[in-house]
Amino acid sequence: MMRTNRLKARLKAGEQSYCGWSMMGNAMAAEIMALAGVDAIVIDHEHGPADLMSAIRIMQAVSGTDATTIMRVPSHDPVYVKRALDAGIEGIMFPSVNTADQARAAVSACRYPPNGKRGAAYSYVRASDYGLNASDYPAHAEDNVVILAQVESKTALENLDEISQVDGIDGFYMGPLDMSGSIGKLGQFQEDEVAGLLAASEDGVLKSGKALGGSAGGQEAARKMRDRGYTLIGIGADIDHIRDGVSANLENVRRN
């Protein structure tokens, strides 16, 4: 039986939600974050080294918790999206959605005909409990998948009003690093043009009524994002938690 997509319901209700990122593709690290209480695990297949089998192991590890699993796919390739959904992923994050046509194609890749172009093999796949739930799965799959579009460029901002009107997009996830790079100022977050671009993108999403998401660089940043109106906040990746935890412990031991 399909799990209720708790994150989709929370985003629709405007409830504050927090996600941890799986950059290493390690099931135990993802399970720890889920058991610690994050609302979602984002499995990164755009920049992370993981493959589909490691994503399945993460989904299996997280299935005993309340956390929703999302995959940031490498591109808008509908075949990759289809395989991720067949494997049982509960949400897809599309990087660099710059136009409404790209947003419509993204949604189409997540939906079966007649509402989309997702290929059907639900008699066998993990998403339908390997066919044990095949008669019920197609009718509910569309309404049970979170679809997030990343805003990562000046072009995306220029088209944001139109993108936000695409049926099926549940929310937007800011990508400030690539956004800064799109205007030739990579990583210069305090520069006026970069800061203005991010602020305008945030305003556009908030105006649309869609969920606003993004990753925080620490607790203070997370609090500011919450106050700004973000309803999906990334609190760091497995690599962040290991790196920063070890570094802090070493510093304390060496100092004391």
Q: In this predicted model, what pLDDT tens digit does every residue of 50-91 receive, in sequence order?
A: 999 999 999 999 999 999 999 999 999 999 999 999 999 999
pTM: 0.96
Per-residue pLDDT reduced to its tens digit, 110-156: 999 999 999 999 999 999 999 999 999 999 999 999 999 999 999 99
d(CA 12, CA 131): 29
> Is pLDDT at 4 greater than 90 in this prediction?
no
The total of structural domains in the chain comes to 1
- Angle of CA points 68, 239, 223, to nearest 5°: 65
Over the range 196-223, which residues count as b (16 or more CB within 10 Å of their CB) and which as e? ebbeebbebbbebebbbbbbbeeeeebe
Cα torsion 78, 14, 43, 62: sign: negative
Cβ neighbors of 137 (< 8 A, separation 6 or more) are 2, 122, 127, 128, 129
Cα torsion 211, 87, 46, 40: sign: positive
Out of 47, 76, 140, 241, the active site residue is 47
**Is residue 47 flagged as an active site residue?**
yes
Would you call 241 exposed, middle or buried from its count of C-beta atoms within 10 A (0-12, 13-18, 19+)? middle
- What pLDDT, on a 0 to 100 scale, did the predictor assign at position 1? 60
Q: What is the pLDDT confidence band of residue 183, given thresholds at 50, 70 and 90?
A: very high
d(CA 145, CA 116): 13
Q: Is residue 1 domain-resident?
A: no
The closest alpha carbon to 229, from 256, 197, 207, belongs to: 207
Using DSSP's 3-state secondary structure scheme, residue 256 falls into: coil
188: left (phi over 0), alpha (psi -120 to 50) or beta: beta
Mean pLDDT of the chain: 96
- What pLDDT, on a 0 to 100 scale, did the predictor assign at position 70? 98
Per-residue pLDDT reduced to its tens digit, 203-254: 999 999 999 999 998 899 999 999 999 999 999 999 999 999 999 999 999 9
Structure-token pair, residue 169: 């997009």
- What pLDDT, on a 0 to 100 scale, did the predictor assign at position 3? 79
Q: What is the pLDDT confidence band of residue 256, given thresholds at 50, 70 and 90?
A: confident
- Which domain, by its residues, includes 183? 6-255
CATH code at position 22: 3.20.20.60
The arithmetic mean of pLDDT across residues 96-122, rounded, is: 97
Q: Is residue 244 domain-resident?
A: yes
- What pLDDT, on a 0 to 100 scale, did the predictor assign at position 172? 98
Strand partners, 233: 18, 214
d(CA 216, CA 214): 7
Helix 100-109 / helix 78-87 crossing angle, nearest 10 deg = 40
Q: What is the pLDDT confidence band of residue 19, given thresholds at 50, 70 and 90?
A: very high
Say which amino acid occupies 186: L
Query: What are the helix (H) ranges across the chain?
Result: 6-13, 27-36, 52-62, 78-87, 100-109, 137-141, 154-158, 160-164, 176-181, 192-208, 219-228, 238-255
